[in-house]
A and B are shown apart, each in its own frame.
Chain A
């Protein structure tokens, strides 16, 4: 029984029971405040999503009409999946979804391979000229995409790539940021394993794919998740380079759908819901990996 607990009102002649009760009260207060604050903040972060979901089941005219009161969170009048159907038809949701999926898959898988190969080469393969290459890569990290956007658009036009999916994939496969991430990571893995492999007669390719890459899982996870989030949310580039429904990814899809008269807000909320919920579910299931990936990039960078 330790009487010297921190919050105890020391030396005021209180009985032990009273002291314990007071500590308990303080703890309860502390917990109440802590949870209270957390819950309030949670409400702040969740309410737009609740609004979106409720709105997606409401009749179009009610979404705005009810938007100023708590009725906004109640799917009344309930129209079932009608808004979702309309969003899919009038908004061409599934085409845009397919586009986004292809683009993100392309960028993530292609990008992980290309960037990690280069990062590995820079870190571990002694070859002529790599110092210079590394310098160039590092220098390019600072160049924001926006500086390149307009001339890149012109290049796309010259190549005849405007309004295509590959115009949204190929220019983004090689990214100095991720190359550097892999480079830093590969520098840190112990050489012994690779040396052992070399003694066994393994070539560089085998060493990479069998030894180095598996060791770099955290880097792949981090880079993969960031690439995915970035490509899934890309809006600026599609605005510039795509027009037709066949090439347009989801962020642009919803922006266009929102701007198209007549604006049926129920449909728009349904579109947003279809855009958001799959990713949300994936995130909730894989949240530890997501969070670790993001944190790794931050700490490593």
Chain B
């Protein structure tokens, strides 16, 4: 997954927080020059949103109930077929494989990458000379766009490549799998690339959050006799709670949008035995390659609901934990 939120789903979780939805109305709005200005300023955005976000959104729902194809032979009419597409999707074992893969990926990557990012942020937050150099280095993979990272890592993950060379050294030659070709290890390979390419982004956010925690709190804790671990638990974690939640949420949603690596890296999109087939691969394969726009739209709608569900569940879980503490 790429670290950069290119949509906005991730931020929705934070909407309920700080900023007010309704701006304080100080003036009675009436038809004034202000109204004209307001609409004028808004017009370009509104038109674009209506055409390129709202319209496809509605179409996605609409097409999901039809058997629309990208290209039809002359004489073939698109028909309304009700929930057939959805039934087909849920009956297709490949869909469940894709969903499972996304879930597996998330369960591993979200905690792993987030806490790796936190670990890096803490390391880089130390008062060491030249630590900025390291911060830069850790962020560099973000500037290597995911597609390029994927191509480079194809060679690195080759059974005779560097990654295996490393593993062979530390396991005395016992462990050097065919990362991208072996269904058992394909997901691990993808996870490796994803973390390498994305963790810098989360690190930077958490670093800023760490720097916002007042030093005085740490001093107070030390005076109370707290050791490093206790300081971390009682000062750091609570202090960066909101940004940390934000990072967890983004990472989760991005995990479901996993596409670039799994499309480019395995020798066929979706990987060996569909071991790395994700929902996005399914959507693109169905809508584009198989030209089944109707079924592809059904998948897109289902995807939306899954993302919503995951976000809500995660917020609940985290809120509970916060309350228990």
A-side residues, CB < 8 A to B, are: 31, 34-35, 37-38, 41-42, 44-49, 51-52, 55, 63-64, 67-69, 72, 114-115, 117-118, 120-123, 125-131, 133-138, 140-155, 157, 170-180, 183-184, 187, 203-205, 208, 226, 229-236, 239-240, 250-252, 254-255, 258, 265, 268-269, 272, 275-276, 279-280, 283-284, 287, 290-291, 294-299, 301
CB-CB < 8 A to A150: which residues of B? 60, 63, 283, 287-288, 293, 296-297, 300
CA distance A290 to B135 in the complex (A): 12
- Contact partner of B34 among A63, A125, A136, A233, CB < 8 A? A125
Task: Return 12 A-B CB contacts under 8 Å, by A number.
Answer: A67-B156, A117-B44, A118-B44, A128-B35, A134-B23, A154-B59, A174-B46, A174-B53, A184-B18, A235-B264, A250-B148, A255-B147
Counting CB contacts under 8 A, is B220 at the interface? no
Given contacts A150-B296, A233-B146, A236-B259, contact A298 B243 (CB under 8 A): yes
| Cross-chain contact B38 with A130 (CB below 8 angstroms) | yes
CB-CB < 8 A to A118: which residues of B? 41-42, 44-46
Interface residue ranges of B122-157 to A (CB < 8 Å): 123-124, 126, 128, 131, 134-156
CA distance A39 to B204 in the complex (A): 18
CA distance A208 to B37 in the complex (A): 11
Given contacts A142-B308, A298-B243, contact A148 B146 (CB under 8 A): no
CB-CB < 8 A to A180: which residues of B? 8, 11, 15
Closest to A48 in B: B152
Closest to B146 in A: A233
| Cross-chain contact A255 with B151 (CB below 8 angstroms) | yes
CA distance A125 to B26 in the complex (A): 11
**Shortest beta-carbon distance, A239 to chain B, in Å?**
7
**Residues of B contacting A: mostly:** helix
| Cross-chain contact A67 with B147 (CB below 8 angstroms) | no
Interface residue ranges of B254-310 to A (CB < 8 Å): 257, 259-260, 263-264, 279-280, 283-284, 287-288, 293, 296-297, 300-301, 303-304, 307-308
- Contact partner of B9 among A55, A121, A144, A179, CB < 8 A? A144
CA distance A174 to B293 in the complex (A): 25
| Cross-chain contact B134 with A143 (CB below 8 angstroms) | no
Closest to B124 in A: A38
CA distance A234 to B14 in the complex (A): 25
| Cross-chain contact A295 with B42 (CB below 8 angstroms) | no
**Shortest beta-carbon distance, B150 to chain A, in Å?**
8
Counting CB contacts under 8 A, is B216 at the interface? no
Closest to A37 in B: B123
B-side residues, CB < 8 A to A, are: 2, 4-12, 14-15, 18-23, 25-27, 29-31, 33-39, 41-42, 44-46, 48-49, 51-57, 59-60, 63, 68, 70, 120, 123-124, 126, 128, 131, 134-156, 158, 160-162, 164-165, 196, 200-201, 204-205, 207-209, 212, 243, 246-247, 253, 257, 259-260, 263-264, 279-280, 283-284, 287-288, 293, 296-297, 300-301, 303-304, 307-308, 311
CA distance A44 to B163 in the complex (A): 11
CB-CB < 8 A to B297: which residues of A? 150-151
How many pairs of residues, A versus B, come closer than 8 Å at their CB atoms? 366
| Cross-chain contact B307 with A155 (CB below 8 angstroms) | no
CB-CB < 8 A to A230: which residues of B? 2, 4-6
Closest to A236 in B: B259
**Shortest beta-carbon distance, A218 to chain B, in Å?**
12
CA distance A145 to B256 in the complex (A): 12
Given contacts A138-B21, A140-B8, contact A64 B29 (CB under 8 A): no
| Cross-chain contact A142 with B9 (CB below 8 angstroms) | yes
CB-CB < 8 A to A183: which residues of B? 19
Q: Which of B5, B27, B49, B131 has its CB near the most chain A CB atoms (within 10 A)?
A: B49
CA distance A122 to B15 in the complex (A): 16
| Cross-chain contact B264 with A41 (CB below 8 angstroms) | no
| Cross-chain contact A147 with B23 (CB below 8 angstroms) | no
CB-CB < 8 A to B208: which residues of A? 295-296, 298-299
- Contact partner of A251 among B36, B148, B207, CB < 8 A? B148
CB-CB < 8 A to A187: which residues of B? 19-20, 23
CB-CB < 8 A to A234: which residues of B? 6
CA distance A183 to B303 in the complex (A): 28
| Cross-chain contact A276 with B143 (CB below 8 angstroms) | yes
CA distance A126 to B36 in the complex (A): 10
| Cross-chain contact A144 with B304 (CB below 8 angstroms) | yes
CB-CB < 8 A to B42: which residues of A? 117-118, 121-122, 130, 133
| Cross-chain contact A301 with B156 (CB below 8 angstroms) | no
Closest to B193 in A: A48
CA distance A299 to B11 in the complex (A): 11
| Cross-chain contact B120 with A41 (CB below 8 angstroms) | yes
CB-CB < 8 A to A176: which residues of B? 8, 49, 53
**Shortest beta-carbon distance, A107 to chain B, in Å?**
10
